[in-house]
Structure 1
Amino acid sequence: ELLTIKSDDTVGRVKVYEAIVKGENIPEPGIPESFKVLLKELQSLCLNVEVLSKDGAAIEMRDGDDEDLERAAANLGINLSRNESASIEDFA
């Protein structure tokens, strides 16, 4: 499950698309969102979950890599820099 690029790995999909277009080798898969959700669900049950490398070293799981997210969004034509100025009163 973790050895292939999944449909919910947005950054991974963009990297694969770029590699195919440029004729390069497909990069290693990233961490799918479903795995991140599983970790959060286990943590919500007060279970201490550690992700380990092959060598047994703990891997820090970040909530998101802003640089990769912004790059992926730009490649998809999505603008994430818009200022959300609406307040709850606007919807009442």
Structure 2
Amino acid sequence: QPLGGKAQFGGQRFGEMEVWALEAYGASHVLQEMLTVKSDDVPGRSKLFESLVKGENTPEPGIPEAFSVLVRELQGLGLEVKVMHDGEFARSDDRK
């Protein structure tokens, strides 16, 4: 869940059922916005606000903090987690 309150740069809270509802309606862009810049992506929210004020194109949203926490927890269990970008493919012979 995002931080609460304006003083901590808190974001919009969004529950699991709301995520399912937007997914069912095919509102992927709204869902992405609600789970990133309107939630716990504080730097992304600042960049989005700046681009709106300047009249520029909106930047790509960052990785949600909840995902970063999940990655750190998995790494704490000894699992190697790599974030792949567009155009990258996982290969089984990439293991060390």
TM bucket (normalised to shorter chain) is 0.5 to 0.7
| 1:23 pairs with 2:51 | no
> Is 1:48 the equivalent of 2:80?
yes
Which structure features the higher share of strand residues? Answer: 1
Q: Which has the larger radius of gyration?
A: 1
SS of alignment partner, residue 47 of structure 2: helix
2:59 paired with 1:32: no
State the shift of 1:9 in Å. 0.7
Q: Does 2:46 align with 1:14? A: yes
TM-score by length of 1: 0.53
Q: Percent identity?
A: 53
Number of positions where the alignment pairs a residue of Structure 1 with one of Structure 2: 58
1:18 corresponds to which letter in structure 2?
E
Runs (4 or more) in structure 1 with deviation over 4 Å come to none
Distance 2:32 2:89 in 1: 19
Tell me which residue corresponds to 1:89: none
Amino acid at match of 1:20: L
What SS does the corresponding residue of 1:39 show, helix, strand or coil?
Answer: helix
Quick check: which one's helix share is greater?
A: 2
Q: Which amino acid aligns with 1:33?
A: E
Deviation of 1:3 after TM superposition, in Å, equals 4.4
Secondary structure (helix, strand or coil) at the match of 2:43 reads helix
Q: C-alpha separation between the residues in 1 aligned to 2:46 and 2:89?
A: 28
- Unaligned 5+ runs, structure 2: 1-27, 91-96
